[in-house]
Amino acid sequence: MKSPFTGGTCTLMHETREVTYRKDKFEYVAQYWICDDTGEEFTTTDQDGASLAQVYNSYREKFGIPYPDEIIGLREKYGLSCASMSSILGFGSNQWRLYEQGEVPSVSNGRMIRSIIKPEVMLDLVENSKNFLSKQEVEKISKKVKAAFDEGERSLLDSFEESRVFLHKRGAVNGYAPESLSRLKNILLFILYKCGDLWCTKMNKMLFYIDFAAYRERGMALTGLSYKAIEFGPVPERWDRVFSEFDAVRQVPKSIREFEGIILHGSEKPDLSLLSEQEISIIEKVCDKFKDMSSHEISILSHEESAWKDCVSKHSTIPFSEAFSLKAI
C-alpha cells in the first residue's frame, strides 16, 4: 500500500475501538494504515466494511436479529418475492430487499422476521393479508407456505446433524458464519480440490487460516466452526466430527515410518455455487499460500500466531478478534 498523501510507504495497524450504534456500545477491531512520512491515518473501503460488519453482527447477535443470508433463505423457503414478503409483514415496499442486502432490521422487525421461521405463524400472517392481496395471491402464497410444513421433519433432522458438528450458536465465537453442513462440506472439498489429499493436521490449520483471514477481510468467517488452542496448534472444536460427517471426505489411515495418521481425500467435486466470489477468493489465497507446506511446517507457523500463544495455556477457545494479528497470511 502506498500513501495517498505522499506516495511513500505505509504501516498496517489495528486496535480495539468502541462505537455507539442505535444507543448501544459495541467493541470492534479497526484496521487502518499509517503514512510513514506524515503519520496520518487512513482506511480502505474494505477495511471500513469489515469494521462495520463487526458492529452490525454484534448487534444482530445481541438482539437475535437474523443475518442477511438467513433472511434470503427464509424468503426462498416460502418461494416468495421480496415485495410479497414486505407486504405480508407490513414493511415498506422495498424493505425486505434492503434487509437481504445487509441493512440491519430494527429489533421489532428482526423479531417479526424470526417468528415466521415457523410456517404456522407465516400462514396466519398470510390469512390476515387478504385486504391488500388478491384472492389468487393469497391462495398461491398459502399453498407455498403449507408446503413448508412438509419440510418440518427434515429441518429437525438437519438441526440435529448440525449440532454434532457446530458446538455454538451463530455468533462472535464462530465469527458470525452460517452454520451449514452443505457449505462446510463443499469448503472442505474445495480445499482438497486445490491442494490434493491432506493430513488432518494440515486441514485443521488450513481451516483456521481460512476462517480467520475471512473475518479479518470482511467481518465474518466462512465455516461456522469455532477454534481452540491445543498443544499442536489451533484446531476446530470437534474437528474429528467435522471430517467424519461427510461421506465425500474420505478418511484414509496412513503410516510413515513410526507416524500413523489420517489422510483426507475428496471423492466429489465441490459445488462452488454455495460460495460467493469473495469467499472462493479467500480460500484460494490460503490454499496457494500453504499447499506446498508440510503439516509440520504449517503447524510451526501457527505456533507463531498470537491467536495460539494467548490461548494455549488454558486450551481455550480462540476469539476471532485475533484475526487482525495474523502473521502468516
pLDDT in tens, 16-33: 999 999 999 999 999 999
% of the chain residues with pLDDT over 70: 94
**Of 317, 311, 71, 316, nearest in space to 211 by CA:** 317
The amino acid at residue 40 is: E
- C-alpha cell belonging to residue 328: 502468516
The mean predicted confidence, pLDDT, of the chain is 91
Provide the 8-state DSSP code for 172.
Answer: G
Which residues of the chain form beta strands (DSSP E)? 10-21, 24-35, 41-42, 198-199, 227-230, 233-236, 249-256, 259-266
pLDDT category of residue 152 using cuts at 50, 70 and 90: low
Q: What is the pTM of this model?
A: 0.90
Q: Give the pairing of strands 41-42 and 198-199.
A: unpaired
List Cβ<8 Å contacts ≥24 apart for 251-257: 251/200, 252/197
CA distances from 242 to 237, 246, 269 (A): 9, 8, 18
pLDDT at 156 over 90: no
Q: Give the pLDDT of residue 150.
A: 63
> pLDDT at position 157, please?
44
C-alpha cell at 226: 469455532
The whole-angstrom separation of Cα 70 and Cα 65 is 10
Domain ranges of the chain: 10-63, 68-150, 158-325
Torsions phi, psi for 270 (to 5 deg): -70, 145
Provide the angle, in degrees to the nearest 10, between the axes of the packed helices 277-290 and 200-218: 130
Q: Which residues on neighbouring strands pair with residue 198, listed in sequence order?
A: 264
Residue 153 scores a pLDDT above 60: no
Distance (Å, rounded) from C-alpha 92 to C-alpha 71? 16
Query: Cα(125)–Cα(50) distance, rounded to whole angstroms?
Result: 36
pLDDT in tens, 93-107: 899 999 999 999 999
CATH T-level fold of 10-63:
Ubiquitin-like (UB roll) (3.10.20)
Sequence length of the chain is 329
Q: How confident is the model at residue 135 (pLDDT cuts 50, 70, 90)?
A: confident
Strand residues in 22-94 grouped as ranges (E):
24-35, 41-42
pLDDT digits (tens, 9 = 90+) for 212-237: 999 999 999 999 999 999 998 999 99
Environment class of 157 (CB within 10 Å of its CB; exposed 0-12, middle 13-18, buried 19+): exposed
Confidence of residue 79 (pLDDT cuts 50, 70, 90): confident
Task: Report the pLDDT value the prediction gives residue 159, as an integer from 0 to 100.
Answer: 53
Q: What average pLDDT does this structure show over 60-89?
A: 92
Q: How far is residue 187's CA from residue 196's CA, in Å, rounded to a whole number?
A: 13
Mean pLDDT of 9-21: 97
Residue 302 grid cell: 501457527
Element at 214 (helix H, strand E): helix 200-218
| Residue 193 neighbours by CB distance under 10 Å | 16
Mean pLDDT calculated for residue range 277-287: 98
